[in-house]
């Protein structure tokens, strides 16, 4: 495990028709079990834990057809994010004005920083930013975070 990331092999897909859902089966070595529990906790009925999935490029596998993500510092990424109208709407849902500055205030509050530049200096703030960005992506897709 690296930080908040687990590496697994996509093994199977099952549908649960009675609940209109599907189950994604991922496999990893048994030695990773403690990492899984440390990151996700043990499954508890009624206590949903939402996660994100991403495909890894391994060996000679063809690259995914998704556009390349622009890199940069977290502060730069945060600035770009605050300029997105959809992120401004998310900020509005949380009581902030629908402006770039309103979105920036929302982001700084959520990450516990005074300046977006602090995202590149504070590991906890960086984690909160990554979590906020993941929640935003879920919000965009219509999944409540």
Indicate the SS3 state at residue 23: strand
In angstroms, the CA 9 to CA 26 distance is 5
24, 53 Cβ separation under 8 angstroms: yes
DSSP state of 56: P
In the chain, DSSP finds a helix count (H) and a strand count (E) of 5, 2
Tokens of 19: 């609940």
- Per-residue model confidence as pLDDT tens for the chain (145 residues): 656 778 888 888 888 888 888 888 888 888 888 888 888 888 888 888 888 887 777 665 554 444 444 456 899 999 999 999 999 999 999 999 999 999 999 999 999 999 999 999 999 999 999 999 988 888 888 765 4
Domain boundaries, the chain: 1-56, 74-140
Q: What is the pTM of this model?
A: 0.51
């Amino acid at each position: 495990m690296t930080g908040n990331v687990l590496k697994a092999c996509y093994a199977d897909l099952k549908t649960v028709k009675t609940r209109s859902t599907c189950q994604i089966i991922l496999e990893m070595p048994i030695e990773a079990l403690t990492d899984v529990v440390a990151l996700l906790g043990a499954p508890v009925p009624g206590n949903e834990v939402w996660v994100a999935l991403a495909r890894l490029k391994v060996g000679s596998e063809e690259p995914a057809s998704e556009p390349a993500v622009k890199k940069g510092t977290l502060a730069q990424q945060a600035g770009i994010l605050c300029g997105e109208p959809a992120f401004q709407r998310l900020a509005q849902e949380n009581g902030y004005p629908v402006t770039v500055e309103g979105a920036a205030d929302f982001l700084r509050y959520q990450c516990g920083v005074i300046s977006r530049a602090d995202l590149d200096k504070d590991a906890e703030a960086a984690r909160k930013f990554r979590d906020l960005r993941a929640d935003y992506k879920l919000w965009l897709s219509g999944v409540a975070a």
